[in-house]
Chain A
């Protein structure tokens, strides 16, 4: 596996905070966690009606799912298994090598 399979089970959440309350709640949920902000670049830039894409590690995904549901914040999972997507993106290359 690429990167020693370190991204297996990691997910990218796509979250849609609708108002200031949800923005603040989201900052409270994600701020203390070791997450990787894809968009925007950091928790401090989260604002209402702007999509948040965040990479969450495998072990933290259940907690993030639970908290977002509990707070009724609108979200989806844009990448359900990051390792698979990485293998897929690089799969073309390895096949190229074979070619």
Chain B
């Protein structure tokens, strides 16, 4: 398997997705 060489995580976006 070819290794995934990139990764990203939207910290702010995760907050926004959070149901209030």
Do A and B associate with each other? no
Which residues of B are at the interface with A, using a C-beta cutoff of 8 A? none
